[in-house]
Amino acid sequence: MDFELQPLRLADAATGKAPALVVLVADGFVPGDDALSALIARALGSGDFKTEAGAQLFVYGAADIAPPRVVLAGIGDGSAARVRKAVAAAMGAVRGSPAKALTLCFAQPTDAAALRAAVLTVADASYVYRATKSKPKDKKEPPRVARVLIGAPDAGALREPMQQAVGVARGVELAREWANRPANHATPAMLADAARQLAKLPRIACDVLGPKEVGRLGMGAFQAVAQGSRQELRFIVLRYDGAPKSEAPVVLVGKGITFDTGGISIKPAPEMDEMKFDMSGAASVLGVFRALAELKPALNVVGLIPACENMPDGAAIKPGDVVTSMNGQTIEILNTDAEGRLVLCDALTYAERYQPRAVIDIATLTGACVIALGGVRSGLFASDDALAQALQAAGEQALDPCWRMPLDEEYSEALKSNFADVANVGGRPAGAVTAAKFLQRFTEKFNWAHLDIAGTAWKGGTAKGATGRPVGLLVHYLLGQAGQPAPARAGTARRAAGAAAKPRAGAGRRQG
C-alpha cells in the first residue's frame, strides 16, 4: 500500500479526485464556507451525524463535492484511540466499494499520535491474505485499497510521524503475512528464505545455520524439539547495522515453532490448526527488520529465530527425557508441549556473544497468559526496571500495550526436578510466570525482557488471522533507543521481581 501526506483543508478535499473520501471530525468542529463544511454542519444539525468516536455517516454523490463516496467519521476528542476506532468503522464502509484509492482527511489540526493511529488502522483494515488462494475468476471480491492520501491542515509538522507509521505498517503487514501462512507454506526453510529476502534491503544482513551448525554449538534443547519432524530446523540470524560496530546491539529473539502439535503430549484436535501461529514471535522479528530498513534508526539490532516444528514422530522427545541446553544446564521434559521455552533458552544463550545492551524475546508461550490478560495486552516480564518501563511506554505510544507481570524468585520452586537442573514446566498455577522464570535462568549476563504474545498475536473465530503484534511496540522501543547511551549491564541495574500488579494466571490449552 502506498501512503502520501499532504497539507489539505476541507475545501481542497472537496475538489479532490479520489473515488472515496473519509473525513475525520472532532468535537468542537467549526465549519468554513466550503461544500464539505456545509455538509458536516447540516449532518450535525439534523442529528444524523455526531462527533463521538465511531459515529459515521455515508453519503454518495453529495452536491459540489468531487469524490463520489464520502464517509463522515466522528473522532471525539481526537485522541489516537478515538481515531483508531473511527477509522476502523469508516473503513468498513469503504471496503465494500470498488474504490482502489482513498483520501483520509482530518477536518481539524491533529497530532502525531492520531496521525499514526489513522495510518496503521487504514493499513490493518486494508490487509487481505491471498498467498494460498487461487486467483479469483470473477470480480465479486472488492479490490483492495492500494493508494491512500492522508490530508491534514498541519501536515508539515507531521512528516516524521508519518514516516514512522508507514514503516511500522509495512512491518506489521509482513509479520501478518508470514504468521497467516499454513505450516506447509511457512516451513523453517521458508522462514529462512524470507529472512534472506530482507537481507536485500539496506543495512540488513542474514546468516542461516542448519542442523550441523546448531549441533556444533551444543543447542541440545533446540535440537530436541526439532528431532521429531521431517522438516529440518533453521537458526536464523538477522543483523541491522545502523550504528558503529562498537555499539552494543539490542537482540530480539522470536519463537519460530512453525507448527506445534504438542509433540508426544499432543494437543486436542479442535483448533489445532491455529498452531500455525506459533511462529508469530518469529514473524514479528521479520516485521521489525522490515520496518528498520524503512526507518534507518541509528542503532544496531540483532534478530535470532530458532525455527522448527514440534511433531510426534517416533524420534520425538518423550516426557521424562533429559536434554542438555547450550549453556550446560540439563532440562527434564515433563511436557513436550512446553517446547517454545526449549528453543528460546538456547537462542538466549547464543545472544550472549553480542554483549547486548538488552535482549527481548517474543513468543506465543502460554495459554496461562491468555487467561490472565486476554487479547488486549501482551504479558511483559523483565529483569530490569528501566527496560520494562521503556517497553511499556513504547506499547502505549504504539497502541500495542503490554502489562508487566511478576518474576518473584519463589515462582522458581515449581520448576525443581529430581532428575535434572530444571523441569520445563511448573504445573498449572501461574503458568505464564513459571515459563518466564524458566527463561530467566538463561539470561544472567544481560538485561532481559520477555513478551508473551499468546493472547495478542492472533484472533480466532470469524476474524481468524494474525494481528502483527507486537511489531509496533518493538519498533517504537527501538526508535526510542536510537542514539541513547547503552544502559548498565545485567548485575548492576537489574531487578529480580516484576511490578506489584499480579494478574491471576490460569492455564489454557497452549503451552510453550
Is residue 367 within 8 Å of residue 511, measured between CB atoms? yes
Residues 456 and 469: beta-carbon distance below 8 Å: yes
For 37, how many CA atoms within 13 A lie in the half-sphere containing its CB?
A: 13
What region, left, alpha or beta, does residue 159 occupy, with left being phi > 0 and alpha being psi -120 to 50 degrees?
alpha
Quote the cell numbers at residue 215.
Answer: 549441533
Encode 181-207 in three state secondary structure: CCHHHCCHHHHHHHHHHHCCCCCEEEE
Alpha-carbon gap, residue 165 to 15, rounded angstroms? 27
Give ∠ CA 447-450-451 in degrees, rounded to 5.
Answer: 140
DSSP 8-state symbol, 155: G
Contact 163, 463 (CB under 8 A): no
What gap in Å lies between CA 291 and CA 174, rounded to an integer?
Answer: 9
Residue whose cell numbers read 511478576: 406
Cite the active site residues. 267, 341
CB 26 within 8 A of CB 86: no
Distance in angstroms (rounded) separating the CA atoms of residues 139 and 327: 57
Residues 6+ apart with CB under 8 A from 508: 366, 367, 368, 370, 371, 454
Return left, alpha or beta for 404; rule: phi > 0 is left, psi -120 to 50 is alpha, else beta: beta
Q: In whole angstroms, how large is the CA radius of gyration of the chain?
A: 24
Exposure letters 46-83 (e unless 16+ CB within 10 A, then b): eeebbbebebbbebeebeebebebbbbbbbbebbbebb
Residue type for position 118: A
